[in-house]
Structure 1
Amino acid sequence: MSYTALYRKWRPSTFEDVKGQDHIVQTLKNQITSQRIGHAYLFCGTRGTGKTSIAKIFARAVNCENPVDGSPCNECPTCNGINSGASLNVVEIDAASNNGVENIRDIREQVQYPPTEGKYRVYIIDEVHMLSTGAFNALLKTLEEPPSYVIFILATTEVHKIPITVLSRCQRYDFKRITLATLTARLDELTKAEQIQVEEKALAYIARAADGSMRDALSLLDQCVAFHYGKLLTYENALEVLGAVDTSVFSKLFRAISEGDTKSCIYQLEETVVQGRELGQFVSDFIWYMRNLLLLMTAEDAENMLDMSEDNIRLMKEEAGLTHVETLMRYIRVFSDLSNQIRYAVQKRVLIELAFIRLTKPAMEENYDSILQRLQEIEDKLEDGRLFSNLAISNGTVSAGETENTGTVQGALAGGEKGTAASREPAKQVSIPKAQLDDLNLVRNEWGKIIRELGGSIRASFRNTVVEPSGESCLCIVFSSAENYAIGSRATVLGEIERFVEENYGKSIYFKSRLAGGGERFDTVYVSEEELKANIHMDITIED
């Protein structure tokens, strides 16, 4: 006996077997049980969601001699005749190859004759959007006022191509994409029935690759099982057969892009190509990966929207903190454009490499998205102090040139021209206990990251602030703007900073705040008392 593909073997035979289209199934069953059957139906939706299957079940149900709760019994002579294709009451037409006026005229002639057995003659016209304009016009009158024993079921994946005159004559049913959970559960059910050994992770990936189509899911499963027949179908096997890439690769890629590391991106792509992965699928999966990151950054309770383990979600949350929402949206737009270009391209690898260069080198582009990313990078560097890397403080000492520059920058933040003038004077050195200096250096080095991680009003209000020592386990935040001080000096805000520092750095530090005075300088160099003694090279006498 010849082999039957899984999607044909497991095609639903009753309404109860249909998965993921409960809203349509229940409506049709109610129409059958209440004898309120329409004369024209339009089934529209993406491929593999059950349009033709439900049409065939409906055709049997309306003619069944012993229907069960609106579903066909599949045992009576009428049902058996329709299932075997021997019945003249159900006519299935492929509009892609029978799209002329003559084909529709044949239908108009046939509908004049009542069914020889059963109650209804059912015409299922698949891919109805392929009919010519003349064929649609020829169908209109029959579609509007068919004989009482005729039912038309039109199925299409492109409903926008259907003339409005046809739409208005039909009951329209929109088929949804089948959810990932439903697809995975159905695949698990079928593999157990077929006695196929397969990992749950492999089934989940096949279901995601099917993109909401049950037929695609069964076809992909068939392909994977055939390649590894008689063996356990693992996640790695599924990736190998489908030419896909493990998500850990996307994690490395995203981190490299966020760091502007073009070289690592190219090497990672080289490894993917060597493994024989399909580059079109690679681009689509990476877009999906970034989409999940975007959900984690923007949507509340996004964890419940993503079908992932807690470990994967934790890692993705870390990666979500590496960039900004606007930058991530630019990444997705660049790869979405690439997905359209790569479909018919010969040099797919070159196009992907160009996309990586665009993402890691935004200065090479002059469009709106890249300019926004470059501005965001400048803001981050200002917050972290990296923009003035030549102002490095090493071991608590600052050279004369560095002191002057530091005074200029910090003075300008607080006192404008007065600060600039004051910067001509040498910076003042102040010694503090080593424990206080350690706390100060820790918070100062991480200050940009702290306010960026806290986000919201803290990020906006705490720009251009300076952290100063203020006693044991206490630091003072100095604001240059009265408006920002009004927000940042609140006890709830300072308490949030204290909790963040304790949770992330293990330091219990008390924070307070003050408003900077006019012309105040912020170039004071803080050193430990031990370092001050070591650098003076002379005896120190402490007077009473």
Structure 2
Amino acid sequence: MPAIFNFVTMEHFIVSARKYRPQTFKDVVGQQAITNTLLNAIENNHLAQALLFTGPRGVGKTSCARILAKTINQDGNEHPDEDFAFNIFELDAASNNSVDDIRNLIDQVRIPPQVGKYKVYIIDEVHMLSQAAFNAFLKTLEEPPKHAIFILATTEKHKIIPTILSRCQIFDFKRITVTDAKNHLMQVAAQEGINADEDALQIIAQKADGAMRDALSIFDRVVSFSGKNLTRQAVTENLNVLDYETYFKATDLILQNNIPQLLIEFNHILAQGFDGHHFIAGLASHFRDLLVCKNQATINLLEVGEQTKAKYLEQSQKASHAFLIKGIELANDCDLKYKTSRNQRLLVELCLMQLASILTPDGEKKNDKPYIIPPSYFKEKGIQPIKINQEIKEKVETKPLSIESSTPEPIPVSVETTDSNIQEKENVQTIDQEVSSTESDVVTQTPATETKNNLSISSPRKKTSGLSLSSIRKKKEHQEKKVDSIVDPNSLPHDEFTESEMKDAWIEYGKLQDKKGERIIGSMFAMNIPTMNSEGKIQVELPNQSMKVDLENALPGLFQFLYRKLNNYSIELVIHVNEEASKKYAFTPQDKYEKLKEKNPLIDKLRSLFDLDI
């Protein structure tokens, strides 16, 4: 049986962006400064003949141009619906960007209007004009006829040549705020008879990102989905955005340190088709909004509805300032690494676990390093673990520690040990006695032969803690005495040395530097042997300034070596730079051959006899 289709006559639908396009300057949303300026210029007859409207998409540039063109031709006697279509010429520069198109425009400009006072030329996307078209337009734009006004509109002002910009009066349109867009959507919804939640319109305004045209387009799309009742849930489902409740729930789980449930919630978000990158970026913004709520001076920066703002204020009281700062840092770092990560889900899950681990359930920061000395250190040394009775362990753990040095009560310790354990304890005791030179340690220990199976240590032991104030004070006094003994000039030796001893020490230091990998410094010491002048000072002659700089950088280590080697702490070094000395260095094979000939002329006969190459 053939299917029967019922055809319903549909009325022509006009999108809200066209239906609610502003018809007067009062209807323009979020551009009060510009509209007031244009109105005052019209009333005071102070309107420029070339205007440039620039700004983001969908903020009212073309609408203001049309309203301006209509307003300047009105004299109060025309019909209210008169649009002066014969006096308004719109040109799309994206498709009419050649020199011929501009020439045709210039020819039309010369003809005066038949109705009205002005002919208005609106050139949209003017930055698409070619360089030649811009140059052809310069003269007409600078000196147009009295009846012509040019309005240029563009989203990319930086692409317009400076000679055009200098001939125009520039108006910078700003992005429409979320609050202004939401209020305008509420008016549109009221005129359309739609019951819309404030939070739903807030999400649409945020999604539009400052463009009123985009906001109205999204509004039409959501109304087609949900009908006359516009709810927050319907908007988030249709626009595929994460609403506030998702982030409120995730933040509560983070504050509760509930990592398993947090990972389950993230898996549920991914199952709904949301991107992990979008989630973690939104979580960072959520932490930022919570931080904004911490201070009454910044709470106005929160662009949300009153009901949502109350939820932000409530949750901001649960999170500390330090937690939010650390949370923003971790989430932002994850956001930056997301695109380059090979396992993006693991990256987000790791970030969530780090966020939940910032604070422990009792609000204390976790200790990242529980051990001062790791247990692996004792295993590498071959030290066997000591079994301590449970009663003694509890007594040790509950006994308070004092930062000052004291004499603790003797604690009997029963130890299961072997000969190797006893030997290890004796070695430790010997080292301890050598280090503790400022205080005496009295230790009574049972001989190894009598403690084969059981060792008892019960004598009091007086020691200074490594963390006590007295040990720090003694260490500081020791360092001061050590420094004083070193810097005293009267106690330093000043033995005499010969020039040959000095040269040997110089060459030895160069060899040491060469072994360390400092081959340039080593070769410099080998090639430049110093001498001693009449005053007993060491002097060295270098071929260029660069070598002098290298030698001056190596002086601290050189002096320390010579002081100890020659046993003389009053050595002085004089450095001379002689550019002529560079001639004595053989850099090329020919130079090296000439040097060999100077030392032994027979080398040339040898080369000739065997026909050798250089």
Q: TM-score range by the shorter chain?
A: 0.5 to 0.7
* % same residue: 36
Contact 1:126 1:155 in 2 (8 A): yes
Shift of 1:206: 1.5
Q: Of the candidates 49, 69, 80, which is equivalent to residue 75 of structure 1?
A: 80
Q: Of the candidates 118, 122, 127, which is equivalent to residue 124 of structure 1?
A: 122
Show the counterpart of 2:301: 305
Is the counterpart of residue 399 in structure 1 residue 409 in structure 2?
no
Shift of 1:15: 1.0
The residue matched to 2:122 in structure 1 has which SS?
Answer: strand
Contact 1:258 1:323 in 2 (8 A): no
Contact 2:109 2:145 in 1 (8 A): yes
Instruction: Describe the shift of the 1:244–1:12 C-alpha distance in structure 2 as closer, same or farther (beyond 3 A).
Output: same
1:138-537 counterparts in 2 under 5 A? 138-230=136-228, 232-255=229-252, 264-277=261-274, 282=279, 285-297=282-294, 300-306=296-302, 307=304, 308-309=306-307, 311-318=310-317, 320-321=319-320, 323-324=322-323, 326-331=325-330, 333-334=332-333, 337=336, 341=339, 351=344, 353-358=346-351, 360-361=353-354, 386=367, 399-403=394-398, 407=401, 411=403, 419=404, 421-422=405-406
Q: Of the candidates 37, 49, 59, which is equivalent to residue 27 of structure 1?
A: 37
Shift of 1:99: 2.7
Instruction: Describe the shift of the 1:333–1:171 C-alpha distance in structure 2 as closer, same or farther (beyond 3 A).
Output: farther
CA distance in 2, matches of 1:337, 1:402: 46
Is the counterpart of residue 15 in structure 1 residue 13 in structure 2?
no
Shift of 1:107: 1.9
Instruction: Describe the shift of the 1:281–1:380 C-alpha distance in structure 2 as closer, same or farther (beyond 3 A).
Output: closer
**Which amino acid letter does the alignment assign opposite residue 161 of structure 2?**
P
The residue matched to 1:314 in structure 2 has which SS?
Answer: helix
Show the counterpart of 1:461: none
Instruction: Describe the shift of the 1:268–1:426 C-alpha distance in structure 2 as closer, same or farther (beyond 3 A).
Output: farther
Shift of 1:386: 4.8
Show the counterpart of 2:560: none
Contact 1:24 1:173 in 2 (8 A): yes
Instruction: Describe the shift of the 1:290–1:175 C-alpha distance in structure 2 as closer, same or farther (beyond 3 A).
Output: farther
CA distance in 2, matches of 1:170, 1:137: 15
Indicate the larger mover: 209-218 or 55-64. 209-218
Contact 1:14 1:57 in 2 (8 A): yes
Contact 1:243 1:278 in 2 (8 A): no
Shift of 1:286: 3.7
**Which amino acid letter does the alignment assign opposite residue 298 of structure 2?**
A
CA distance in 2, matches of 1:383, 1:266: 23
The one-character-per-residue Cα deviations of 1:137-188 (angstroms, maximum 9, x if unpaired) are 2222222222222211111222222222222221111112222222222111
The residue matched to 2:153 in structure 1 has which SS?
Answer: strand
**Which amino acid letter does the alignment assign opposite residue 334 of structure 1?**
D
Instruction: Describe the shift of the 1:234–1:381 C-alpha distance in structure 2 as closer, same or farther (beyond 3 A).
Output: closer
Instruction: Describe the shift of the 1:402–1:100 C-alpha distance in structure 2 as closer, same or farther (beyond 3 A).
Output: farther
Shift of 1:301: 2.0
CA distance in 2, matches of 1:390, 1:252: 36
Show the counterpart of 1:507: none
Instruction: Describe the shift of the 1:269–1:99 C-alpha distance in structure 2 as closer, same or farther (beyond 3 A).
Output: farther
Contact 2:200 2:235 in 1 (8 A): yes
Indicate the larger mover: 46-55 or 288-297. 288-297
**Which amino acid letter does the alignment assign opposite residue 236 of structure 2?**
L
Q: Which runs of 5+ in 1 are unaligned?
A: 68-72, 363-372, 392-396, 412-418, 428-516, 521-544
The residue matched to 1:155 in structure 2 has which SS?
Answer: strand
C-alpha RMSD of the superposition: 3.9
Indicate the larger mover: 19-28 or 204-213. 204-213
Contact 2:281 2:331 in 1 (8 A): no
The residue matched to 1:245 in structure 2 has which SS?
Answer: coil
Instruction: Describe the shift of the 1:277–1:387 C-alpha distance in structure 2 as closer, same or farther (beyond 3 A).
Output: closer
CA distance in 1, matches of 2:410, 2:325: 42
Contact 1:338 1:352 in 2 (8 A): no
Shift of 1:130: 2.5
Shift of 1:318: 3.2
1:39-50 counterparts in 2 under 5 A? 39-50=49-60
**Which amino acid letter does the alignment assign opposite residue 126 of structure 1?**
D
Q: Of the candidates 55, 73, 96, which is equivalent to residue 94 of structure 2?
A: 96
Contact 2:54 2:172 in 1 (8 A): yes
Instruction: Describe the shift of the 1:259–1:197 C-alpha distance in structure 2 as closer, same or farther (beyond 3 A).
Output: closer
CA distance in 2, matches of 1:139, 1:320: 61
Report how many aligned residue pairs link the two structures. Answer: 383
**Which amino acid letter does the alignment assign opposite residue 357 of structure 1?**
L
Indicate the larger mover: 210-219 or 54-63. 210-219
Contact 1:260 1:361 in 2 (8 A): no
Q: Which runs of 5+ in 2 are unaligned?
A: 1-10, 373-391, 412-467, 472-614
**Which amino acid letter does the alignment assign opposite residue 333 of structure 2?**
V
The residue matched to 1:225 in structure 2 has which SS?
Answer: helix
The residue matched to 2:53 in structure 1 has which SS?
Answer: strand
Contact 1:121 1:149 in 2 (8 A): yes
Contact 1:378 1:387 in 2 (8 A): no
Instruction: Describe the shift of the 1:57–1:264 C-alpha distance in structure 2 as closer, same or farther (beyond 3 A).
Output: same
TM-score, L = length of structure 2: 0.55
The one-character-per-residue Cα deviations of 1:195-230 (angstroms, maximum 9, x if unpaired) are 112222212222222222211111111111001224
Contact 2:253 2:261 in 1 (8 A): yes
The one-character-per-residue Cα deviations of 1:489-532 (angstroms, maximum 9, x if unpaired) are xxxxxxxxxxxxxxxxxxxxxxxxxxxx9669xxxxxxxxxxxx
Contact 2:16 2:217 in 1 (8 A): yes
| Higher RCO, Cα 8 Å, sep 6+ | 1
CA distance in 2, matches of 1:58, 1:34: 14
CA distance in 1, matches of 2:83, 2:221: 31
Contact 2:30 2:177 in 1 (8 A): yes
Instruction: Describe the shift of the 1:133–1:51 C-alpha distance in structure 2 as closer, same or farther (beyond 3 A).
Output: same
CA distance in 1, matches of 2:262, 2:79: 57
Instruction: Describe the shift of the 1:389–1:352 C-alpha distance in structure 2 as closer, same or farther (beyond 3 A).
Output: closer
**Which amino acid letter does the alignment assign opposite residue 144 of structure 2?**
P
CA distance in 1, matches of 2:140, 2:218: 40
CA distance in 2, matches of 1:138, 1:291: 51
Shift of 1:128: 2.0
**Which amino acid letter does the alignment assign opposite residue 149 of structure 1?**
H
CA distance in 2, matches of 1:94, 1:352: 46
Instruction: Describe the shift of the 1:165–1:389 C-alpha distance in structure 2 as closer, same or farther (beyond 3 A).
Output: same
Shift of 1:293: 2.6
Contact 1:227 1:241 in 2 (8 A): yes
Instruction: Describe the shift of the 1:359–1:44 C-alpha distance in structure 2 as closer, same or farther (beyond 3 A).
Output: farther
CA distance in 1, matches of 2:277, 2:16: 26
Show the counterpart of 2:113: 115
Instruction: Describe the shift of the 1:235–1:164 C-alpha distance in structure 2 as closer, same or farther (beyond 3 A).
Output: same
Show the counterpart of 1:524: none
Indicate the larger mover: 236-245 or 321-330. 321-330
CA distance in 2, matches of 1:107, 1:305: 47
